[in-house]
């Protein structure tokens, strides 16, 4: 039976405010300085997780850690260029030595350098693929060495509906996000026997600084077209990530969960 009192307090069915699904777990979140990544880090901390917040600069990561600390959680700040293999390997060694072996990795870091195909520069193609796709590969390669020792792990890759449907002017971004879906399925097959799951979340149009520059008429079109009747929020995405990282999702792997308000059904 649903707990209607809990629902009125804003709690989710089956979970009370005191639930700590990720207590004693170390969670690594890349791209944690803002937007979706910041909200994911905060959400894990609210549910008892110790969060290693990774950003390009330590100052960016520290801002999220300060928000976690202010809410009574526990976080640590790390800087890393995730497209650099040496930096990634050093990052996960530091996390393991200073915080503990990660139970969860959220590959959220991503950039855009949009342009029409005929105008797209090679360096912009390379940089988007290096950060959005190669970076996820490098982080997975590093973290699975640690997870295999524990015979447990949850890996969640942040893809995009653009990776599923494409978009004019975003061929580099679409290719990287589509590549993450194939990477997700391959990792799921390779590590399933070690009790390591790997899934993807594909957000639609989410209200962040990356979507602020979208034309108002386009946003209105999304709101009118999506059955949910609104743009998504970082909290919507974080909820999906936390589910896939939880024990309740232990028999789910190699899957992509679209968080798009039904826009592309």
Residues labelled as active-site residues? 173
**Token representation of residue 204:** 């639609």
User: In angstroms, what CA-CA distances link 195 with 29, 105, 152, 188?
Assistant: 20, 14, 5, 10
**Token representation of residue 9:** 């307090």
Rounded Cα distance between 215 and 9, Å, is 36
Tell me which residue has tokens 């300085």.
Answer: 33
Q: Give the Cβ contact number of residue 228 at 10 Å.
A: 14
Rounded Cα distance between 35 and 46, Å, is 17
Query: CB within 8 A of 69, min separation 6: which ones?
Result: 75
Output b/e per residue, 194-207; b: 16+ Cβ within 10 A: eebbbbbbbbbbbb
Rounded Cα distance between 68 and 139, Å, is 23
Query: CB within 8 A of 120, min separation 6: which ones?
Result: 171, 172
């Amino acid at each position: 039976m649903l707990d209607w009192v809990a629902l009125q307090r804003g709690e989710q069915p089956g979970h009370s405010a005191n639930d700590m699904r990720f207590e004693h777990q170390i969670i690594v979140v890349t791209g944690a300085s803002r937007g979706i990544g910041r909200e994911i880090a905060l959400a894990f901390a609210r549910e008892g997780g110790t969060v290693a917040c990774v950003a390009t600069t330590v100052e960016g990561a520290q801002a999220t850690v300060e928000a976690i600390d202010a809410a009574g959680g526990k976080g640590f700040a790390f800087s890393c260029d995730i497209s650099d293999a040496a930096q990634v390997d050093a990052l996960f060694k530091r996390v393991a030595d200073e915080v503990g072996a990660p139970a969860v990795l959220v590959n959220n870091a991503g950039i855009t350098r949009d342009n029409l195909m005929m105008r797209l520069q090679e360096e912009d193609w390379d940089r988007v693929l290096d950060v959005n796709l190669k970076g996820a590969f490098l982080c997975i390669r590093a973290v699975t060495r640690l997870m295999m020792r524990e015979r447990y792990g949850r890996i969640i890759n942040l893809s995009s509906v653009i990776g599923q449907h494409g978009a004019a002017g975003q061929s580099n971004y679409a290719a990287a996000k589509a590549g993450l879906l194939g990477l997700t399925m391959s990792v799921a097959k390779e590590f399933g026997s070690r009790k390591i799951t790997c899934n993807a979340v594909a957000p639609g149009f989410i209200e962040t600084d990356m979507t602020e520059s979208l034309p108002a008429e386009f946003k209105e079109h999304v709101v009118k077209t999506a059955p949910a009747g609104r743009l998504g929020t970082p909290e919507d995405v974080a909820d999906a990530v936390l589910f896939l990282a939880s024990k309740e999702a232990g028999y789910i792997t190699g899957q992509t969960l679209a968080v798009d308000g039904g826009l592309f059904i």
